[in-house]
Amino acid sequence: MSRWRVAVLASYAASGIAFATWVSRLPAIRDGLNLTPGGIGLLLMCMTVASFISISASGLIVLRLGPKLTSWIGSCMVGAGLVTVGVGASLAGSPLVVAAGLVVLGLGTASWNTASNVEGAALERSLERHIMPHLHGAFSLGTVAAAGFGAWAAAVHMPVFWHFLISGVVVTTAVITAGFSFRAEKTPATSSSTIRSGETDTFQDPSTGPLPIITPESQNSSLRSDASQGAPPLDSKRLVALAWRDRRTLLIGVLVLGLALAEGAAGDWVALALADGYGQSDAAGAVGYGLFVTFMTIGRFAGTSIRDRFGRVVVMRWCSATAVVGLALFVFSPVPWLAFVALAVWGLGASLGFPVGMSAAADDPVHAAARVSVVSTIGYGAFLCGPPLLGLLAEHFGILHSLLAPLVLLVVSFFLAPLAGQQKAKSVHSGDAR
């Protein structure tokens, strides 16, 4: 079990390294290619479109290939994408090459992240306690490490190519090695897996017994069993279709959307906002992003005990409100040092939205993979589509004031927080009635 947990933590951390690597050098890429905020937005849109295509198909991909193979393929694509972006930024000096690299990066990242969430949900149920915030905390640790390396690389003027080549090799090697210890596909469907918690919004139905861990192999076995008993079998396409028709799943996606956009906006625009809005250096911009992810990491590792004590609903409301305060303070800060304080508050607010949302989507293990893919699609849609659109707003209102746009969705997330409470698992065919 410990090897499995370490492997999943490594996969999440590698994803954080990949993300923070290119985000921390955005100012250098912008300066090297002489791009405007709108130009940066268009480059990010290339990654967004690719990621959205990948995340939309991620449920089917993970159900067909399994989390391990999906993670392997996705991480290899991410490594190749980083190297391509480095070539375009440092060697070719071509926005088109950078755009091509971001497309490959987006295609690999989205499906890999869904696979990690499915593997993490299986691990969480197997351990019988909430660890999803810790897993996403590992992602944040990866971003902290990569942001620190990025700040150093910017300070010593390391070419983007060499920086991205090193990071790409580290990411791909880590995930391929970790994948050999993944166990979600080998976990039998009859394994006991009821998560223990003292919170008031959890469910536990003694009459039904422990919930099974559902994985691609065990799910297929379950479907074959349904068919043998006369019930119409549900293939992976049917499960995904049912998930898209499930009202609670869709609203959880909207709930996650606001907090994901707050996190994504920070990732793509904080370094540039500090450089352009507050006159800070490129290295200081990378340090600012590092501060944001550091406090997001603190929030995620403290999140398990906080979540178990107060419940998902309180946590989601606290996150939404805190993110609003931090983001608004960052935009309207009269002095640079206060903007750095605001980044810490903003990071704490953005810390638990995604992991708690993934746990909420995975409540019913029978539908976990399909519903996680739906919530991931909506959440990553905001995470990925929002920042490029903010770039277009920045052309007219400036980078700092364009960051006010996520506030509206954060308010929506605050009022949708009650949907994060756990619900009873239902049968595999329950979605037909919805």
pLDDT at site 366: 67
Question: What are residue 362's phi and psi, to 5 degrees?
Answer: -95, 15
3-state secondary structure of 204: coil
Summarised one tens digit per residue, pLDDT across range 174-200 is: 999 998 988 877 654 444 344 444 443
pLDDT at site 377: 74
Query: Whole-structure pTM over 0.85, yes or no?
Result: no
Asked whether residue 80 carries a pLDDT value surpassing 90, the answer given is yes
Q: How far is CA 204 from CA 208, 239, 386, 422, 425, in A?
A: 9, 24, 37, 9, 9
Per-residue tokens: 276 = 């352009």
Chain centre to alpha carbon of residue 406:
17
Instruction: Tell me what percent of the chain is helix, strand and coil, each rounded to the nearest 5.
Output: 80, 0, 20
3-state secondary structure of 25: coil
**Domain membership flag for residue 433:** no
pLDDT category, 424, cuts 50, 70, 90?
A: low
**Domain membership flag for residue 144:** yes
Summarised one tens digit per residue, pLDDT across range 21-65 is: 987 888 888 888 888 777 887 887 888 788 878 877 877 888 888
**Domain membership flag for residue 200:** no
**Domain membership flag for residue 226:** no
The CATH number assigned to the domain holding 92 equals 1.20.1250.20
Asked whether residue 237 carries a pLDDT value surpassing 60, the answer given is yes
Q: How far is CA 312 from CA 62, 63, 247, 305, 356, in A?
A: 26, 27, 18, 11, 7
Summarised one tens digit per residue, pLDDT across range 89-129 is: 989 889 999 999 999 998 998 888 888 888 887 887 788 77
Do 262 and 412 contact (CB within 8 A), yes or no?
A: no
pLDDT at site 423: 60
Task: Give the range among 91-105, 256-270, 328-342, 415-429 with minimum mean pLDDT.
Answer: 415-429
Q: Rounded distance, CA 45 to CA 169, Å?
A: 25
Q: How far is CA 241 from CA 52, 197, 357, in A?
A: 17, 31, 20
Question: Which of 232-236, 242-246, 425-429 is most confident?
Answer: 242-246
Q: Rounded distance, CA 290 to CA 384, Å?
A: 19
pLDDT at site 93: 87
**Domain membership flag for residue 228:** no
Host domain of residue 378: 2-184+234-424
Summarised one tens digit per residue, pLDDT across range 256-311 is: 888 888 887 887 778 778 877 888 887 788 788 888 888 988 888 887 678 778 88
Mean pLDDT of the chain: 78
Which residue type sits at 11?
A: S
Q: Which H or E run includes 14?
A: helix 2-24
Residue-wise burial string across 48-71, b where 16 or more C-beta atoms lie within 10 A, e elsewhere: bbbbbebbbbbbbbbbebbbbbbb
Q: Into how many domains does the chain fold?
A: 1
Q: Give the dihedral sign, CA 145/146/150/151.
A: negative
**Domain membership flag for residue 213:** no
Return the higher-pLDDT residue of 349 and 267: 349
**Domain membership flag for residue 340:** yes
Asked whether residue 131 carries a pLDDT value surpassing 90, the answer given is no
pLDDT at site 212: 34
3-state secondary structure of 328: helix
Give mean pLDDT, residues 137-152. 86
**Domain membership flag for residue 199:** no
What secondary structure letter does DSSP report for 246? Answer: -
Residue 66 region, left (φ>0) first, then alpha (ψ -120 to 50), else beta?
left
Q: Rounded distance, CA 351 to CA 344, Å?
A: 11
Task: Give, to the nearest 10 degrees, the angle between helix 247-277 and helix 336-349.
Answer: 160
